[in-house]
Structure 1
Amino acid sequence: MVPAPNIKTILYATDLGENTRPVFRLAVSQARRYDARLLMLHVVEPLGTTGTAIIANYLSGETAEKINRDGAREVLAVMKQRLDTYCQEELASFGLDRTPVTEILVASGNPSEEILEVAKKHQADMIVMGTSTRSFLGSALMGTTARRVSRFSHIPVLLVPNTQK
C-alpha cells in the first residue's frame, strides 16, 4: 500500500471571483483529510502605470505617492476583512466545529509570483486554487495565474475548475 502524502500546510489562493466557493470547499476538505493547516491568500494587483499616471497628472508627486501608499494599505485591510467574512460564511455552511483556516493572508503584487512566494515562505505542501477558465472558440482555457503557478511550483498544485456552482 502506498503511504498518503505528508501534507501539513495547504495554501488556498483565491481571487474571490464568481464560483470560488466550490474551490474553497475542496481546500477545506483537503485540509481536514490531511489534518493540515489551511492558509487563505488573496493577492491584490498594484495600481498599473495608467492609474498611477492619472493620479500624478492631478496631484503633486508627494501627494500622489501618499495616496497610492495609503490607498494600498486600505485596500489590503478591506480585502483581509472580506476574506475573513467569506471564510466564516463558508465554514458555517459546513457546520464545522473547528476551523481548518489558520491564517488569512493578503499580499500585493503579481498574483502568480506572490502565490509561489507565500507558499515557499510558509512551507506549504500543496496549493489549491481555481482555474478561472474561460471559453475560447468552444474550448476552455486555463487562467494565466493558474497556468503560471502550476508551471513553476515545486509542490503539488490542485487546480479546480471554478465554472461549477
Structure 2
Amino acid sequence: MLPDVKTILYASDIEEGSRPAFRAAVSMAGHYNAKITFLHVIEPLSASARNIMKTMMNDAALNEMHDSSIVNLKNKLVSRIERFCETELDASEIMQEGQVIPRVEEGASDRVILKVAKEIGADLIVMGTRTHSSVGQFLLGSTANRIMHHTEIPVLIIPLK
C-alpha cells in the first residue's frame, strides 16, 4: 500500500497510445483525492540542429518561435486533458477544476522529471513506457528505468503499446 498520496506527477511524451498511463494517474488521483501535475518534457535541440536554425533566422526570431512553441504546446496539453476528461471519464471520475495542472519544461527528460517531482513534493510518479529492443534498452536505457533508479518516490510504470 502506498503512503498518503496528495501530489502525483504524471510524465507524458504525449505520443499516440499514452492514454492508459494518464488513465492510471487519474485513477490514483480519484482514489487518493490527489492533484496531478501533467508534465511534458521537451528535449533540447542538438548543437547541429541549433546551428542550422541560426543560419535561417536571427536570435530574436528564434527566441520568439521558441516561446510561441512552448505556449502552443501547453495549450495542446490543456486541450488534450479536457478532451480526455470529457470523453473517457464517467460522472464518478470527473476531475475537479485545478486538480490537473499542465506543465511544459525543457531539458533531459529524466533530470527534468526528477527535478519537478522534488519541486512539487510528488508522492507518486506515473509514467508510461514503450517496448524497446533489448539492445536499445542496454545501450540507451529508458527514461522510466533511469527514474526508477534515481528516486525515492514510488513510481508507477504503465506499459504502452
| Residue in structure 1 matched with residue 95 of structure 2 by the alignment | 98
1:80-117 deviation digits (Å, cap 9, x = unpaired): 11111111111112034433743110001111111111
Deviation at residue 4 of structure 1 after TM alignment: 5.1
Deviation at residue 143 of structure 1 after TM alignment: 5.7
Deviation at residue 5 of structure 1 after TM alignment: 1.4
The whole-number CA distance in structure 1 between the counterparts of 2:84 and 2:53 is 38
| 8 Å Cα contact 2:54/2:62 also seen in 1 | no
Matched, 1:15 2:13: yes
| Residue in structure 1 matched with residue 73 of structure 2 by the alignment | 79
| Residue in structure 2 matched with residue 126 of structure 1 by the alignment | 124
The whole-number CA distance in structure 2 between the counterparts of 1:14 and 1:143 is 17
The whole-number CA distance in structure 2 between the counterparts of 1:98 and 1:145 is 28
Gaps of 5+ in 2: none
Q: 2:83 aligns with which of 86, 89, 98?
A: 89
Cα RMSD, aligned residues only: 2.3
| Residue in structure 2 matched with residue 162 of structure 1 by the alignment | 160
Deviation at residue 72 of structure 1 after TM alignment: 2.0
- Richer in helix (by share): 2
| 8 Å Cα contact 2:11/2:40 also seen in 1 | yes
Aligned length, in residue pairs: 156
How is 1:1-165 mapped onto 2 (pairs within 5 angstroms)? 5-59=3-57, 63=58, 65-92=59-86, 93-95=88-90, 96-99=93-96, 101-136=99-134, 144-163=142-161
3-state SS of the aligned residue for 1:161?
Answer: strand
Code of the residue aligned with 1:153 in structure 2: it is T
Runs of 4+ in 1 over 6 A off after TM superposition: none
